[in-house]
């Protein structure tokens, strides 16, 4: 099965998302939507993570979001983890907010990024003044 945003190694599935498209909250909401199903499939959610940039950036740069799952059942893990991949993407689509709510959230996020940029500029100017 072709998984453009996932990778299976042994009994572990790593799914990749981008903060340009989704937030960690969106991913976790989708996991919560299907967590009972994953448990019945003998798949354990191991957690999710985001990259942390090592330096400030003058512009918004999307970061990677990853979600990790482990097959704890018997037998071949691959077919089960492929189903988890499909079901999680379905849950992302199902739980994604309607366009007005999404647009509002993106606007709020843009204001947050702008405020961070203002703070960085102020710190740079303050450091120059010292």
pLDDT digit string (tens) for 62-118? 889 999 999 999 999 999 999 999 999 999 999 888 888 888 988 898 898 889 889
Quick one: what percent of the chain has pLDDT higher than 90?
60
What's the rounded mean pLDDT across residues 49-57? 79
Q: What is the DSSP string of 63-109?
A: -EEEEEEEE-SSS-HHHHHHHHHHHHHHHHHHHSPPHHHHHHHHHHH
The predicted structure's pLDDT at residue 130: 78
| Cα distance between residue 90 and residue 88, in whole Å | 5
For the chain, give the percent of residues with pLDDT over 70: 98
d(CA 105, CA 35): 25
- Distance (Å, rounded) from C-alpha 7 to C-alpha 81? 9
CA 17 to CA 24: how far, in whole Å? 9
Average pLDDT over the chain, rounded to an integer: 91
pLDDT band of residue 58 (cuts 50, 70, 90) is low
Angle, CA 78 vertex, CA 76 and CA 84 arms, to 5°? 120
Q: According to the model, what pLDDT value does residue 92 have? A: 94
* Bridge partners for 44 per DSSP: 70
- The predicted model scores a pTM of 0.77
Q: Quick check: 56 pLDDT over 80?
A: no
Q: Which residues of 39-51 are buried (b: 16+ CB within 10 A; e: fewer)?
A: eebebbbeeeeee
């Amino acid at each position: 099965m072709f998984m453009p945003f996932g990778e299976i190694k042994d009994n572990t599935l790593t799914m990749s998302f981008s903060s340009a498209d989704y937030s960690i909250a969106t991913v976790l909401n989708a996991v919560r939507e299907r967590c009972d199903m994953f448990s019945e499939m003998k798949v354990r959610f191991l957690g999710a993570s985001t990259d942390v940039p090592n330096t400030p950036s003058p512009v918004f740069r999307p970061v990677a979001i990853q979600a990790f799952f482990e097959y704890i059942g018997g037998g071949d893990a691959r077919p089960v983890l492929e189903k988890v991949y499909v079901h999680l993407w379905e849950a992302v689509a199902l739980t994604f907010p309607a366009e007005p709510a999404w647009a509002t959230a993106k606007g709020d996020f843009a204001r947050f990024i702008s405020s961070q940029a203002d703070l960085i500029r102020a710190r740079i100017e303050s450091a120059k003044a010292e």
